[in-house]
Amino acid sequence: CDNAGCGAADVARYLDVAPTTMSSAIDRLVRKGLVERRRPEENRRTVALTATAKGVQVVGDQKAGYRNACMAMLRSLNASERQELIRLTEKIADTKVE
């Protein structure tokens, strides 16, 4: 689910995991202060999930770490190796899976 305020079932469906697995994971994220549960005023029967400021920061840090790791791997390739990587990546992307 790409929207703030999704419910646990929405996230479980999006990630294709069992709702019980998602519920346990959300409990851990709440305990760590990364996600909070709220009851929307318009529908008090539902529980909406939103990332906390700390959660947003952790996601940003993870993205930056991933980006830095990718850049380090690419820097280890010379120009012809980078061209070959691009060629192979394009070939994979163009492959039709049936």
Instruction: Convert the pLDDT of each residue in 43-73 to its tens digit.
Output: 777 888 999 999 999 999 999 999 999 999 9
Structure tokens at 82: 């980078």
pLDDT reported for residue 83: 96
d(CA 14, CA 22): 11
Instruction: Convert the pLDDT of each residue in 1-51 to its tens digit.
Output: 666 678 888 999 999 999 999 999 999 999 999 999 988 777 777 888 999
pLDDT reported for residue 4: 66
pLDDT reported for residue 71: 96
DSSP 3: S
Max distance between CA atoms of the chain, in angstroms, equals: 59
Whole-Å CA distances, 27 to 16, 57, 61, 69, 92: 18, 19, 21, 30, 38
Whole-model pTM: value is 0.70
| Whether 13 contacts 53, CB under 8 Å | no
DSSP 45: T
